[in-house]
Amino acid sequence: MEPLWWVGMITMIVGEVANFVAYAFAPAVLVTPLGALRIIVSAVLAHFILNERLHALGVLGCVMCIAGSVVIVIHAPQEQEITSVREIWNMATQPAFLLYVASVIVIVFVLVFYFSPLYGQSNVLIYTAICSLMGSLSVMSVKALGTSLKLTFEGTNQLIYPETWFFMLVVATCVLTQMNYLNKAFDTFNTAIVSPIYYVMFTTLTILASIIMFKDWSGQSPGSIISEICGLIVVLSGTILLHVTKDYERIRQSRSVYAPLSPSLTTRLNGELLKHVDDESNSDEEKALRRQEMY
């Protein structure tokens, strides 16, 4: 019944739709790292709206994310011209990408059925690895589905091909699995730990999958590829720094509240308490009894 809740929900939906559309017009090597900008916007808005203090290291993390993103945008590869969903299907069925998909499925099954019951509650890498691996496949399917819908809206109907519906099924399966284990990770571990680890793993695996499937780096000069890698490293480092420092103020305040007293102050307070006990006691036996109860 809260209008503000609906405003937030609609804003999130619009943002995810825009992110979905972006994969239809730009390579995943460019779109995925730019997801760090949402972290910057969230940190800045939280600083002004929620009174969550943004520290100097957090500002440095924002600057690093922006600088790395600029480098990636400048050296990003050009989007390939695709005229049919069957072209994407041919890319998805090439031996190199099929080997990647098979490896991801095997690793995910091992993590889900063996490592997750044993170490899922104690090791943050289990749930985040499942989310990241499935996320890399979901992004590839989202890009294929988005391109199909774009071509359909342009007048070339792609819904008549079974490949389009297959990519839609893969998107639904991967996203549901990804969200399930991401929620488990956030329920089990601190957000400041899960978020940077998940972002680094998800971004790295997505870029790897895109390079294998769409061959984003083919035709690029070594200098451009090195620049993209350096920009990605800067963005990942800034993201980690921003997440690590965002709860610094709360942690410092909690430590100051529960900090132990100094030895001299503790001795003085104990002495005053013992004197108070002795003043209220009428006999030596009562004093000894009250001292014992106090300790």
Q: Which of 235, 225, 164, 239 is nearest to 196 (CA)?
A: 239
What is the tens place of the pLDDT at every residue in 245-262? Answer: 765 555 555 454 444 444
pLDDT, residue 94, reads: 94
Establish if 93 belongs to a structural domain: yes
Same domain for 211 and 265, yes or no, is no
Question: What are the residue ranges in the chain where pLDDT is below 70?
Answer: 246-295
Last residue of a domain, one of 215, 241, 269: 215
My answer on whether 86 and 211 are in the same domain is yes
Is residue 154 in some structural domain?
Answer: yes
User: Can you give the pLDDT at residue 261?
Assistant: 47
Instruction: Round to whole Å and give the CA distance between 201 and 236.
Output: 10
Question: Please, are residues 241 and 61 in contact by the beta-carbon 8 Å criterion?
Answer: yes
Rounded to whole angstroms, the Cα distance separating 125 from 138 reads 19
Locate 32 and state its tokens: 């995925």
Residues 96 and 173 in one domain: yes
Residues 29-56 have pLDDT tens digits of 888 888 778 777 877 787 788 777 777 8
Specify whether 208 is located in the same domain as 278: no
How many folded domains does the chain comprise? Answer: 2
- Tell me if 238 is assigned to some domain: no
Name the domain boundary from 215, 242, 269.
215
DSSP state of 155: T
Q: Which two tokens stand for residue 16?
A: 């995810």
Our CA angle for 3, 7, 13, nearest 5°, is: 140
Query: Both 93 and 187 in a single domain?
Result: yes
> Residue 41 falls within a domain, yes or no?
no
In a domain, 95, yes or no: yes
Two tokens, residue 198 = 């998940």
My answer on whether 190 and 285 are in the same domain is: no
- Would you say 230 and 266 are in contact if contact means Cβ atoms under 8 Å apart? no
pLDDT averaged over every residue in the chain: 82
Question: Taking phi first (over 0 means left), then psi (-120 to 50 degrees means alpha), and beta for anything else, what does residue 204 get?
Answer: alpha
Q: What is the pLDDT of residue 42?
A: 77
- Given this model, what pLDDT does residue 170 score? 94
287 is a domain residue: yes
Rg of the chain on CA atoms, in Å:
27
User: So what's the pLDDT on residue 158?
Assistant: 93
Residue closest to 69 by CA, chosen among 44, 43, 34: 34
Domain that holds residue 117: 81-215
User: How far does CA 160 lie from the centroid of its chain?
Assistant: 36
Domain shared by 92 and 161, yes or no: yes
- Do residue 179 and residue 278 come from a single domain? no
Looking at residue 111, the DSSP 8-state letter turns out to be: I
Write down which residue in 184, 215, 246 finishes a domain.
215
Residue 231 maps to a domain: no
Query: Residue 200: how many CB atoms within 10 A of its CB?
Result: 18
pLDDT at 247: 57
Q: Supply the DSSP symbol for 282.
A: S
- Do residues 110 and 199 share a domain? yes
Confidence (pLDDT) at 172 = 92
Together in a domain, 86 and 183: yes
In a domain, 18, yes or no: no
Q: Do 144 and 205 sit in the same domain of this protein?
A: yes
Cα 60 to Cα 100: distance, rounded to the nearest angstrom: 36
Q: Are residues 199 and 87 in the same domain?
A: yes
